[in-house]
Amino acid sequence: MRPRGPSRPSSSSPPRRPRPELAVALLLSAACATATLPPPGVAESAAAASSWSGSARVSVRGRDLRGRSRVIMAFRRPDALRIEIPGPAGARLIAAARAGRLTAVLPAERAVLESAATAGDLDALLGVALSPGELMDVLVGVAPPGLRDYRVRWGETLPRRVEAVLADGTKLDAKIDDAEAGVALPEAAFDAPPHPGYRPIDAAEARRLLGGRP
């Protein structure tokens, strides 16, 4: 007796195909494993925020700058921005921008930088070629025009991590530990930081004094 080989499907039986609803479910589960989406209405609410305040662990990797630091930030639309980089014995950098002007002080060095508040000026100082308005958008989950890539991981009401590749290839990664939107911020928060007797410096020296870190 010859051994029986594996059974073959009848030529009259059509091949089984996956159900469309099953394929959709598999695709959705794969997408959820790599990205998070905000609850309904959250992205729109975040994008419309007139003010924001929070802290983040920021990493920047660019052509001539690599570094990471904790950063405290606040903004009020349309053009008021404040950035602080804390250090072990006080702030390493306090920068305030408003109405197109930027003032950045390095208290430990008793040095001050005064310039325009353009994307080029923020790039020269911090290695991030974003205007104050574009930086505000990035923090609330809106991708400014010209980015090569932009990814957001959402919390309940605001982004908790944003990763962006800027037009010049710089990679920006901000892990946001604590943030609030729509907060009442004092006018003084965006005043030029006090700098009596501080010596004027340019962006290149400011970056060198910061150790090449953002």
Higher pLDDT, 14 or 70: 70
pLDDT value at position 211?
80
Domain positions in the chain are 44-208
What CATH homologous superfamily does 44-208 map to? Answer: Lipoprotein localisation LolA/LolB/LppX (2.50.20.10)
pLDDT at 33 exceeding the cut of 80 = no
Would you call 161 helix, strand, or coil by DSSP? strand
Asked if the bond preceding 78 is cis, omega within 30° of 0, the reply is yes
Burial class (CB within 10 angstroms; exposed 0-12, middle 13-18, buried 19+) of 9: exposed
pLDDT digits (tens, 9 = 90+) for 75-100: 999 999 999 999 998 999 999 999 99
- DSSP conformation letters of 70-102: EEEEEEETTTEEEEEEEETTEEEEEEEEETTEE
* pLDDT score at 30: 33
State the chain's mean pLDDT as an integer: 86
Report, as an integer, the average pLDDT of 191-207. 96
Residue range 62-86: mean pLDDT, rounded: 94
Interatomic CA distance for residues 25 and 110, integer angstroms: 60
